[in-house]
Amino acid sequence: MDTQDAKRHAFEAGLSDALVAAFRNAAEATAADGELMFARGVSRDLAKAVACRNYAMLVLQLCHLVNIADSCDEEGWEAFFFSGQRASTSGFRGVIGERLRARGWRRAGFETTDDGVTISYEDGQFNVPYSRMPVLSALMYFLVETVGYQPSDDAFSAMLENAARQSSVSDAANQVSRRLYEYLGDHLRAAQEQGKFELIVSFLKAQNGGGEAEIDDAVILAFWRARAEASEETDFKQYRSALRAFVAFAKAIEGGRSKGAVARPASIGEDREAGEIPPDILAAAMDMEGEWQSPLPRLEAEPASHIRFLTNREQKDMALLMDWGPLAMTWPLSLLRYETFGFTQSRLTQAARAGAPGAEIDRIASCADTENFTRRVERIGELGAHAAETLKASAWILQRAGQEEAADSDGDTLVDPNMLAARRAFKKLNRQGFAEDALSNPDLVAGHRAGVEVMLSVRDRLDAWHEMANQLDASPPGLGEQFEADTKCFKDGFHRLYGESA
C-alpha cells in the first residue's frame, strides 16, 4: 500500500459511516454536463482538511466568497455555488467576469485582480484567490449536507446584513465552524496525530514546568533522545517521525499566535479548561494569505510544466526546505539532522528489518557515511546558484520572444541589465524548454513566464536559508563541531535502538 492509501485509510478509520457518505457525495457530485463537479484533488483536499480538523480557515474564506457571490449576483449565493457548472479556477473566473459584465458589483468595495477578488472592508481587506474557489465550493456542498442548509444560510444572512465589515464575516465563520465542530464531535474520532501532539505537549510541560515553551532545535533533539530511551514502542524512535510531528504540531497551533498555546494541547474545541483552541480563535488569528505553501507543485502545473526547470533529484534535495517554509529558518539544525542522520537511521531500520549482519548494522550506525552538515549546506548553495542561472536563461528567452517587460520586471534580482549573463546561462543550460525553438513556441514562452515567478521564490528561499546557515557556521561552535557532537549523540541513540552491535 502506498503512502497516499495509508493516509486515506488512517483518516477513514476515524470517520463515521455518515461522514464517509458526506465526503463521497461531495466527491461524486456531477455538473450539468455529466462530469464530476470537483476534481479528485479538490475532494481529497477537502477530506484531509476536515479529517485533520484543519478547516477553520477554509470556512473563513468561504464566508468571504459568499459575500462576493452575493455582491456580483442578485440571485444570491445559492445560484453562484449550485449553478451546475464544474468547479474550476478558470470556471469561477469566467462566472464572476460574466456577471460583472452584465450588471457590475451590487456593492462597493470589491475588485477583481488577475489572481482573485479583493474585498476592501471598513475594517480591513481580504483576498479570495480564484485557485481557492473550487475547494471552497466543495466545502459548501459538504456543509449543506452535514451542518445543514438552514443553519448555514442563517449565518450567511446575518453576515450579509452588515456585509461591509470584515468582523461580520468572521462572526459568520465562527458560527459555521462551531456548527461543523459539533457535527464532527459525533462523526470524527480524534486523529492519531492528536495523541502525538499530547506527547509533545507533555514533554514541553516537563521541560518548562508547565509554563511557556519555546520549541527550538535543542528541544526537538532532546525529545527524540527521550523517546529513544523510552521503553514503550512509538514511531518517535525514528528521528524523522519525531521531527515531522513537531512540524505538524507547529502548523496546527500557528493560529494560536501565542507561546501559551504551545504548552497546551492544540486540539480544536470549546473546552478551554482542557486546553483546547476554539474555532473562533483560529478564525480570528490565522492569516490565510500568509500560510506558507511550497512553490514546487506550481512547476508541475501548466504551462510551467512544459519547462524542465528542475530535475527530480534537484526537487528532492530542496523539497523539505520548500515544504517547511519559515520553519526551515526557525529550525535549521533540525532540517540538517533530518537530511543527514535521519537518512542514516532510515538505512539502519531497513538493514535491521532485512536481517543484515551485525557488522553491517555497526558500520551504518557508526555514521561514518553520513553526509556532514557543511557539505549539505554547500549543496543547498549549489541549488540556489542553479536556480539563479535558470532564471537568467528564462529571462533571455522572454526577452528574445519580445517579452522585455517580463524580463525587466525584477531587474535587480532576475538578470543583468545588458542580458549578457542571461545569454550565457541560456547557452549553458541543456534541458527541456531551453532550446532555440523555445523562442518561437508560445506554449514554452508561456511556461517560462509562469515558471519565472515560481523559480524566484525557490531561489530566494534557497539563498536565504544558505546565508542563514553560513551565519550559523560562523558562530560557535560552527557546523563542523556541531556535526561531531551530533554524531556522538546519534550514535548513542542508535546503540540504544538497534542493540549492542550498533
What span, in angstroms and rounded, lies between the C-alpha atoms of 341 and 445?
A: 42
Residue 497 has pLDDT above 90, yes or no: no
Domain range holding 213? 192-266
Residue 58 has pLDDT above 50, yes or no: yes
Kindly indicate the confidence band of residue 421, based on its pLDDT and cuts at 50, 70 and 90.
confident
Domain shared by 420 and 378, yes or no? yes
Residue 267 has pLDDT above 80, yes or no: no
The string of pLDDT tens digits covering residues 104-149 is 999 999 999 999 999 999 989 999 999 999 999 999 999 999 999 9
User: Would 276 be classed as within a structural domain?
Assistant: no
Domain shared by 180 and 229, yes or no? no
User: Would 279 be classed as within a structural domain?
Assistant: no
Domain shared by 235 and 337, yes or no? no
Q: What are phi and psi of 463, to 5 degrees?
A: -65, -40
Domain shared by 95 and 136, yes or no? yes
User: Would 272 be classed as within a structural domain?
Assistant: no
Q: What are phi and psi of 115, to 5 degrees?
A: -105, -15
The string of pLDDT tens digits covering residues 335-365 is 999 999 999 999 999 898 888 898 899 999 9
The reported pLDDT for the residue numbered 425 is 87
More confident residue, 445 or 249: 445
Question: Using alpha carbons only, how large is the chain's radius of gyration in Å?
Answer: 25
Domain shared by 431 and 475, yes or no? yes
Q: Coil, strand or helix: which one is 85? A: coil
User: Would 282 be classed as within a structural domain?
Assistant: no
Domain shared by 183 and 201, yes or no? no
Residue 460 has pLDDT above 90, yes or no: yes
The reported pLDDT for the residue numbered 7 is 35
Pick from 183-187, 304-308, 383-387: least confident: 183-187
Across 94-118, b (16+ Cβ under 10 Å) vs e yields ebbeebbeeeeeeeeebebeeebbb
Domain shared by 261 and 327, yes or no? no
Contacting residues for 461 by C-beta, under 8 A, at least 6 apart: 295, 321, 322, 325, 328
What span, in angstroms and rounded, lies between the C-alpha atoms of 502 and 497?
A: 8
Domain shared by 176 and 203, yes or no? no
User: Would 280 be classed as within a structural domain?
Assistant: no
pTM of the model: 0.56
User: Would 205 be classed as within a structural domain?
Assistant: yes
User: Would 301 be classed as within a structural domain?
Assistant: yes
Residue 366 has pLDDT above 70, yes or no: yes
Mean pLDDT of 412-435: 75
Domain shared by 196 and 303, yes or no? no
Domain shared by 347 and 484, yes or no? yes
Q: Rounded to 5 degrees, what angle do the CA atoms 361, 364, 369 make?
A: 165
Domain shared by 67 and 162, yes or no? yes
The reported pLDDT for the residue numbered 192 is 59
Domain closes at, from 165, 187, 209: 187
Domain shared by 110 and 199, yes or no? no
Pick from 97-101, 376-380, 467-471: least confident: 97-101
Domain count within the chain: 3
Domain closes at, from 159, 187, 215: 187
Among candidate residues 242, 54, 263, the one with its CA nearest the CA of residue 139:
54
User: Would 283 be classed as within a structural domain?
Assistant: no
Among candidate residues 164, 160, 183, the one with its CA nearest the CA of residue 63:
160
Residue 54 has pLDDT above 90, yes or no: no
DSSP 385-427: HHHHHHHHHHHHHHHHTT-HHHHTTTHHHH--TTSHHHHHHHH
